[in-house]
Amino acid sequence: MPRSIKGTIQIEGQDITITNPDKPLWPEAGVTKAMYLQKLAELSPYLLKYCRNRLLTTIRYPHGIHGEFFYQKNAPEPLPPYVKTAVHEGINYIVMEDLPVLLWLGNLAALEFHPSLHYAGSKLPCEWMIDLDPSLPEEPRIMEAAHIVGQTLSSLGIQSVPKTSGATGVQIIVPIQSGITFEELRTLGHFVGMYVCQKHPDLFTLERLKKDRGNKIYFDYLQHYGGKTLAAPYTPRAREHASVSTPLLWDEVAADVRPKDFHLLNIGARLAEKGDLLSALPPQPLENVLKHLKNKK
């Protein structure tokens, strides 16, 4: 990617207009729009992998993370000719396929990328995600909770990859075989959630209403529906530290790392060293557990 990004740049044969390159987007971290676009280019081989052929929701911060923001589901008009879209339930979503689209969105101050949990035109999930959502602004037990869920899955013969949300939570990701339904994942998630809540009642809750959770961590197994989204692996987040949603090693979870430890200023070096931890895990065998749960009904 060119060092000087002002005016119009050409990426993969497409002309992209860059406006206000010196605008601070993450002022505390010292990240301007020009720096952000360079970091997106660095992240693109990883971030794009988990956004391609999915319905994309972005969160835009035209004046940086401390300014007003809005969720963008419908693709803005006019669209450059290289931007693909897909209609789902009356909404014309962007489908982010390549680096020119990513940088075009970055120039629009799209600071977060939240893809659907299914491919465009499909009714089946791409993976299984358990979202651990703290009730406290700072939750020192979040990695303990993630470790417990990972161990529980492992006891069922299911390997997983934890990732920071980039905000305060952690998601546990399980690659799956094609053909498993959203309903089956919700059934499996409810089973695991009930188990960890019974074993650790002071730590976990299945209570959906935040006002009724106290200080417990919400085990969210209900996210699995068509059109629902979660923060993509490797998406930046609009937090002061310019944090990035980052897959982790289980050893790092045991060492109690913090979500803010992984950010735009160090994610490139981490990826150069560790690569994509998610891609290293093959689809997991969920059929036996699902069959057992169906037989219990």
Neighbours of 253 (CB within 10 A): 21
* Per-residue confidence band for 297, with pLDDT thresholds at 50, 70 and 90: low
Nearest to 115 by CA among 134, 135, 129, 103: 129
Dump pLDDT digits (tens) for 7-66: 888 999 999 999 999 999 999 999 999 999 999 999 999 999 999 999 999 999 999 999
- pLDDT reading at 1 higher than 60: no
* Per-residue confidence band for 79, with pLDDT thresholds at 50, 70 and 90: very high
Taking each continuous run of H as one helix and of E as one strand, the counts in the chain are 7, 14
Residue-level pLDDT at 137:
87
Dump pLDDT digits (tens) for 105-125: 999 999 999 999 999 999 999
Three-state secondary structure call for residue 248:
coil
Neighbours of 92 (CB within 10 A): 15
Give strand ranges (E) for the chain.
7-11, 14-18, 24-26, 31-32, 54-60, 70-72, 84-88, 91-95, 110-119, 127-133, 161-164, 170-175, 204-205, 217-220
Q: Pairing mode, if any, of strands 204-205 and 217-220?
A: parallel
What is the percent of the chain with per-residue pLDDT over 90, rounded to a whole number?
87
- pLDDT reading at 69 higher than 90: yes
Which one has a higher pLDDT value, 288 or 202?
202
Residue-level pLDDT at 5:
54
* Per-residue confidence band for 294, with pLDDT thresholds at 50, 70 and 90: confident
Q: What number is the average pLDDT over the span 130-158?
A: 96
Q: What number is the average pLDDT over the span 77-100?
A: 96
Q: What number is the average pLDDT over the span 272-280?
A: 96
Kindly report the average pLDDT of the chain as a whole number.
94
Dump pLDDT digits (tens) for 189-230: 999 999 999 999 999 999 999 889 999 999 999 888 877 898
- pLDDT reading at 4 higher than 50: no
pTM of the model: 0.94
Paired tokens of 292? 């057992």
